Amino acid sequence: MGQPFIVDLEAELDLSVPAASDRLEDTVSYTELYRAVKAVMEGEPCNLLESAAGAIAMGVLEQHPKIGAVRVRVHKPRPPIKGSVIEAAAVEIYRSRAF
């Protein structure tokens, strides 16, 4: 996307099994989530923060059936707005599976 961005990702899923088992295969790997975010942020350019956040949310839900919902925040530090004193611009998107 050309400029620095910060992405926060929250995933909702049942953690009772991995909490008891302490096994990575019983949950979703942070590395896999990172790769889903990276694919969007370093892939086809998006004009809008909203578009990037939506693509991340949909990609995570499509790739990880254990995840029931996601919340994605995309922050753009020091947006290039003439005369602005805004520290960051951000959007937040929440998506859940349709069951």
Cβ distance 53 to 93 under 8 Å? yes
- Of 38, 66, 76, 82, which is the active-site residue? 76
Cβ distance 97 to 68 under 8 Å? yes
User: 10: how many CB neighbours lie within 10 A of its CB?
Assistant: 11
Answer yes or no: 76 catalytic: yes
Partner residues linked to 92 by β-bridges: 73
**Which 8-state DSSP code applies to residue 54?**
H
Q: What element of type H or E holds 8?
A: strand 6-12
> Which residues are part of the catalytic machinery?
76
